[in-house]
Structure 1
């Protein structure tokens, strides 16, 4: 198992397949000037599958979420999903995406074994979308959501980051829109993971503010205690139920005590926390060990050691907190 000194077990693996993206969201990337990971450093499709297999069969991982950057830009995604869906025990397979490519790929992804999908959508206004993402692709995201539902991916979760003075007034409209279509909306506090290191806590829309905005149109009450488990989102019952809305308060109400995640970057580095400042290199061990049957066991030991050293929390707000050098786009959500 992947245990740490605080008794937490990592059973949820986040796998970044690329650091590239076809949007340039203001809270995630600069408009230009990004330095991408060099292709030779990236894990091959076969290496991704092998590391996932080690995690599932040797380390107790039960859920695998593919992220980016934008994972739909990975040419071999369908093959990776197909191979991972054949693992025993079979992990739950999910994807976090900006949704732009879903209209053309959702059916194939579902056929390959994808179970569910999270789609980023910060606004219902195409002009605001262009302002936030620096791309005119709002219609593609909406079409992707429709295609995901038609393909049978379930649940479909919509991830929204509110920006003060830009889209924070849309919170009730976004919730109404998602409820009407059967999507599960989750608001996420903006985190200090931008490459510019320009995050300012005072400009972040907090979980409390999000709930205040929702309360102008809906009655939201917290779910009964004990139902959250290790989920990052605290869920709220909308108008008496059964509908729910989630709020991920990573900054103002960290949920580190129940964290069950381990992360693998596109270049084969294990990160035991989203805000970790250190990494463990699995790619080198994988490539140097080749097909030697002892290599998988060696990698499993490296992975266990990496997770054993996990800190109690991410440390946002601590006097000695330092933002990771890698931005979110290169870590994987």
Structure 2
């Protein structure tokens, strides 16, 4: 089926470029001095790629609509490779900041293409989204442990030169993408509105799982396992993406059977419990549980949005929802960098867990009964 093939190629392109970002999330908080930044500056740099998408998703969506998947993703892959090369060679907050902003727009383009192609055909959208997430995770699952080991042996910089070459490999996948424009998709600009329940959940899911959790894993793990924390955190983050390979298709099948909204509520409540345990000190066991739960949740949002916004408005709705997730995932590292050194981790993750649970329950109350996909 064309939808399956196109979705797979877009996911491979994103999977080839993503390791440059995920390895930076691992190494920058631990090796900030090697990059010429403080922990607070590291948090701002890791947030910058998310925050630029808040303003940039509208431009990216219009560019995507006007030019189509192949040109958009090709440009994004080339720019992402240059960003990875910059991480290997440049130092200091102001030198690294432009790279993070460019990467944010690259990810926006590639992510929008993967979601749009995965949901292009309503039938099987949840299954296709799950398989897409598995392909995207292939790059990070290999790069994270390799980056951790290489960083311990030779410092944090050399791995990014290798990842720049890996990113260029994504061009083999972008050549196979469709090149037709999507004129009906560029008529409106996605931007944050007053959030509904699903918007709030998207924000908090990004804030906790893509912000507080990742920074906390590096920061707290450094104290628990001095000397080998980078390898332990790298392996665990690799497990996070390995879990996506195995479990995201499972999450898609579960959503197909029981309904995406219902599954979202249940998994989010369990995730809140795991976050509380993570903050209470059960770092590695609860982190492993969060990794599994996150992988099961990843395929749920796109089919929910596609069901509620059928037709050409689907891509704009996907982009708008991504804005709210990026607001959360962008502020998460900022908050983590500022409060984790001075506030008890139990309070930080306990409050985040409570808010995520409340948002999930609100989604369950507002979910249309026919929303299973």
The structure in which a higher percent of residues are helix is 2
TM over 0.5, shorter chain:
no
Give the TM-score, by structure 2 length. 0.24
The structure in which a higher percent of residues are strand is 1
If asked which structure has higher relative contact order (CA below 8 Å, sep 6+), I would say 2
